[in-house]
Each structure stands twice: as structure tokens, then as C-alpha cells.
């Protein structure tokens, strides 16, 4: 909406108007009703807030709601509802996407697309089963170096702590995880990309 670019939904964030006229980020794009879309990156979202793009879009969305809106707070001087947009919306989106990515980590493990354990991960990477490594932000430097040694074209993703990865994957000590190809893995990588563009 700010850039007027045309792009796939995987690179956008959807917003809907809630029943109390709050503009709500719908990161899964599953909430009912009409929505508006904004490019999924921090700069664009903050520009949309500054230029009141979401505020204007919210009024338009509410006009399109056919059901009764008597319970929506109204401005004393106007008949239309008061649309509300959180000042910390960009942070809220980052938090929602953070949780969504970790949920996908859990799905990937349950689908059998994650390999854990140093030697097993190293073997999966060396054997060409995958070139994608999830490694903890707080992983030891020497362990990370040994894991990546001699491997070309390795995609290393280090955006979560050991505790976060372990909890999400349902493992006791997830420091390094190899991500095997598959439908869930593709979705996970797509959500990671969206999260990285939206975080500070």
C-alpha cells in the first residue's frame, strides 16, 4: 500500500479491522473479513504508521463490513467508528512472526524434517541431504566452526537462542539442527525470511 508494488502474499502482512475497530495484523492470513496488505518489512510498516496509511485503510475496511457495528466505539462528533492503530504495531508484528516461525520449527521436527545431534547434523550436511543449518545464537564459536568446516554454500540461520530452538523442537538441547527439504521446510524458510525483514 505504501510502495504500490505487486508481490506474492508470502512477502506481505495482512491486516483486518477487529470488532472493536482495532487494526489487527493477521500474519497467518486466516482471519475472517476483508483485509488490506502491506509489504512485510520493518521500514514499510513504520512508514505506513507514520503516513497513517493503516488508519485510512481501517476506515475503508469498516465501511465494507455489512454486519451491525453498534458495539464499536464511536467518536462523539462523527457517526463513523473510531479506528485504532497501535503505536507499537511493528513490534507486535515482529513478536507474532517470531512465534509463528518457532511454531513451524516444531511442525518441521514432527514431520521428520529436522536432524539433531552434532554428528548426525554434520553427516546430513556433508552428505548433501541439505545445505540449511539452524544454529543457536548462543552456540559456542568453536562448535559452530567445526559444524561448518569444509562446507560450501551452507545457509546458516541463527536467529533464535538454544532455549527457544529446544522448546520449539521439543528437544533437550537443540544447538544445531539440519533442515531437510520438504513442504513444511519450505514454509518455515518463507516465514523466517518474512520475520527477518520485519525484526529490528
Domain extents for the chain? 9-87, 95-198
CA dihedral 114, 115, 116, 121 (to 10 degrees): -140
pLDDT at 69: 44
Distance CA 154, CA 67 (A): 52
The CATH class of the 9-87 domain is: alpha beta
Listed as ranges, residues in the chain with pLDDT below 50 are: 1, 66-76
Please state the pTM of the whole predicted model: 0.86
| Coil, strand or helix at 64 | coil
The contacts of residue 131 (CB under 8 Å, 6+ apart) are: 125, 151, 153, 154, 155
Sign of CA dihedral 24, 30, 33, 37: positive
The CATH class of the 95-198 domain is: alpha beta
Distance CA 133, CA 122 (A): 10
Burial of 173 (0-12, 13-18, 19+ CB in 10 A): exposed
Amino acid at each position: 500500500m505504501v510502495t504500490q508494488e505487486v508481490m506474492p502474499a508470502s512477502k506481505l502482512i495482512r491486516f483486518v479491522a477487529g470488532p472493536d475497530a482495532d487494526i489487527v495484523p493477521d500474519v497467518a492470513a486466516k482471519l475472517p473479513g476483508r483485509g488490506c496488505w502491506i509489504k512485510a518489512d520493518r521500514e514499510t510498516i513504520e512508514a505506513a504508521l507514520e503516513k497513517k496509511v493503516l488508519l485510512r485503510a481501517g476506515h475503508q475496511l469498516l465501511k465494507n463490513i455489512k454486519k451491525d457495528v453498534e458495539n464499536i466505539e464511536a467518536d462523539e462528533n462523527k457517526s463513523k467508528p473510531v479506528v485504532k492503530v497501535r503505536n507499537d504495531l511493528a513490534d507486535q508484528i515482529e513478536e507474532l512472526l517470531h512465534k509463528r516461525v518457532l511454531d513451524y520449527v516444531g511442525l518441521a521436527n514432527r514431520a521428520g524434517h529436522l536432524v539433531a545431534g552434532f554428528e548426525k547434523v554434520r553427516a546430513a550436511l556433508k552428505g548433501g541431504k541439505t545445505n540449511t543449518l539452524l544454529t543457536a545464537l548462543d552456540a559456542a564459536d568453536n562448535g559452530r566452526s567445526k559444524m561448518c568446516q569444509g562446507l560450501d554454500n551452507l545457509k546458516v540461520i541463527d536467529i533464535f537462542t538454544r532455549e527457544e530452538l529446544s522448546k520449539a523442537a521439543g528437544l533437550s538441547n537443540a544447538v544445531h539442527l539440519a533442515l531437510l527439504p520438504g513442504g513444511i521446510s519450505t514454509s518455515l524458510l518463507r516465514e523466517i525470511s518474512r520475520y527477518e525483514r520485519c525484526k529490528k
